[in-house]
């Protein structure tokens, strides 16, 4: 498994959804011969510094990311406002700064039950960011599961235009 790099990992800092302890992740990576590992906690980047420090100590390359809670409009703070998942990973320093900014906006401006970001805000901060379409709770998978092929295609084109070669399904 040396060529495998885990790009979707929730640690104990992933609110109500992660069990992997940061202090134990890298021991397992080393056992498997992995040289890098990403962190993509749900809705926050609280463990980023600790994750990076522990990875570096273990000789593993840390990859910083977050699984964002996305919504159509962060100003909509009503029960009809739905959230979905989207994984964003920092490609470089600019991407890291954009992730921090998006996470801050999600907490300060978008918080409604969870820290949320909207696509309008996201599309203004894509430089240096890699985007993964996410799990079954992401917009693209949900549209596909609902049989909305045209909706999925339209969403895919928006994301591809915004992220270019850094958009992965």
Pairing between strand 84-90 and 129-132? antiparallel
Concatenated DSSP letters of 140-166: HHHHHHTT-HHHHHHHHHHHHHHHGGG
Mapped onto helix, strand or coil, the DSSP state of residue 53 is helix
The pLDDT, as a whole number, for residue 148 is 98
CA gyration radius for the chain? 16
The CATH number of 22-168 is which of 3.40.50.261, 3.20.20.140, 3.40.190.170, 3.40.50.10680?
Answer: 3.20.20.140
What distance in Å separates the CA atoms of residue 50 and residue 88, rounded to the nearest whole number?
19
Domain range annotation of the chain? 22-168
3-state secondary structure 81-96: CCCEEEEEEECCHHHH
Residue 27 CA, distance from chain mean position? 23
Q: Mean pLDDT per 10-residue run, the chain (169 residues)?
A: 82 83 92 94 95 96 97 95 96 98 97 96 98 95 97 97 97
The pLDDT, as a whole number, for residue 2 is 59
Q: What is the reported pTM?
A: 0.94
Q: Where are the beta strands (DSSP E) in the chain?
A: 36-39, 61-71, 84-90, 116-118, 129-132, 167-168
Instruction: Please name which of 136, 122, 169 lies closest in space to residue 7, comparing C-alpha atoms.
Output: 169
């Amino acid at each position: 498994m040396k060529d495998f790099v885990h790009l979707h990992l929730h640690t104990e800092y992933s609110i109500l959804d992660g069990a992997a302890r940061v202090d134990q992740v890298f021991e397992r990576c080393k056992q498997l011969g992995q040289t890098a590992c990403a962190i993509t906690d749900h809705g926050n980047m609280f463990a980023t510094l600790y994750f990076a420090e522990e990875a570096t100590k273990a000789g593993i390359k840390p990859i910083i990311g977050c699984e964002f809670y996305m919504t159509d409009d962060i100003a909509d703070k009503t029960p009809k406002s739905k959230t979905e998942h989207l994984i964003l990973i920092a490609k470089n320093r600019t991407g890291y700064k954009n992730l921090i900014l998006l996470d801050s906006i999600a907490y300060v401006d978008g918080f409604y039950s969870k820290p949320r970001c909207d696509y309008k805000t996201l599309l203004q901060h894509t430089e240096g960011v890699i985007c993964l379409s996410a799990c079954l709770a992401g917009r693209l998978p949900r549209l596909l599961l609902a049989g909305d092929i045209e909706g999925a295609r339209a969403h895919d084109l928006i994301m591809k235009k915004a992220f270019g070669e850094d958009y992965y399904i």
